[in-house]
Amino acid sequence: MTPNDAPGDVPAGRKLAAGEYGYNDLEIHDHYETAGVTVTEAHVVGFAGLSGDLFDVHMDDEFARGLGFPGRIAHGLLGLSLADGLKTRSPIRLLGVATLSWNWSFKGPILIGDRIHAAIAVAGKRDTKRPDRGIVTLGMRVLKQTGEAVQEGETLLMMRLRDSASA
């Protein structure tokens, strides 16, 4: 799966099973899906307080309805944050060192009550100067319970090699 694939496309490559994966264990097109999380009012209000983003579309149902939404919508960055958290706590454990960048698109609203999960695929790999690390490009898509892709993009993740996992 790449961010350009349509929802429901069957990705090439192997579907990863639960376990730990180092940089050297992954191949381009490996893929998996995370568990889901239901976006609650507490998520939205807490994120607004944490981020300082109190924009009316997130805090005021009437304002949001006036813009054509059925009610308040979650912050785009909340959706990204939840998706990254789902990736991190997945039974597929990537031996990450640091996230290096995001290239991300917000394609549709996430409403309070929506259940989201992430579909993740290895889109690229490259070695680094350090022999115990490499960088993977992960294509990610955030999907709602309807199958609609509401966010998608890529992230660069610096990873340890499996052999250096205990170092």
Q: How high is the mean pLDDT of the chain?
A: 93
Q: The whole model's pTM is what?
A: 0.90
**Mean pLDDT of all residues in 122-136:** 97
Q: Indicate the pLDDT class of residue 97, thresholds 50, 70 and 90.
A: very high
Report yes or no on 79 lying in a domain: yes
Report yes or no on 8 lying in a domain: no
* Whether residue 51 has pLDDT greater than 80: yes
Residues 6+ apart with CB under 8 A from 25: 162
94: which 2 tokens?
């990537």
pLDDT reported for residue 165:
46
For the chain, how many structural domains are there in total? 1
Report yes or no on 89 lying in a domain: yes
* Whether residue 3 has pLDDT greater than 70: no
Report yes or no on 14 lying in a domain: no
Domain range spanning residue 61?
Answer: 19-164
CATH of the domain at 58: 3.10.129.10
